Amino acid sequence: MPVGRFLPAALCLATALAGSPALAQSGNFEIELNSASDVAGACRLTFVATNNTGTALTQAAYEVATFNAEGVVSQLLVLEFGALPTAKTRVVQFDLPGLACGSVSRLLVNGQDSCQAADGPKDICMKSLSASSRIPTMPFGL
């Protein structure tokens, strides 16, 4: 049989699979520290967050520790990412007042502060979290 006869069926199957939320999900919640820049007496951190958990979140927030050049915790803060629909990527920025970006040696996700869906609290924000950084001098992880 000529290959061309199977092409329409293959395209229909590929389209159906691509549109299937269960098959499109990777099952994780990704947060990437994308950039850091000094602005008006603060270090501005830009994060890219993607919710691939299959659960739409109405609120997501994490407690994060900042470490100084000596490896000492300099701040504990809560970063609120807000609502994160399923399979949606959001860019969020946070200013760390009184800190120069060069004084932050790393960031650590200390825990989940808030993780809410329409039907109530969830534990997937921490269980499914994958944290990374594009900034070699400022690692971001668990």
Q: What 3-state DSSP class applies to 12? A: helix
pLDDT in tens, 51-108: 999 999 999 999 999 999 999 999 999 999 999 999 889 999 999 999 999 999 999 9
Q: What is the structure's pLDDT at 77?
A: 93
Asked whether residue 21 carries a pLDDT value surpassing 50, the answer given is: no
What DSSP string describes 63-80? Answer: EEEEE-TTS-EEEEEEEE
Q: Which residues contact 123 (CB under 8 A, 6 or more apart)?
A: 112, 115
Cα separation values, 137 from 17, 49, 62, 82, 141, Å = 40, 20, 22, 27, 13
- Asked whether residue 9 carries a pLDDT value surpassing 80, the answer given is no
Report the percentage of the chain scoring pLDDT > 70: 82
The overall average pLDDT reported for the chain is 84
CA distance linking residue 102 with residue 83, whole number of Å: 30
CATH of domain 26-141: 2.60.40
Domain ranges of the chain: 26-141
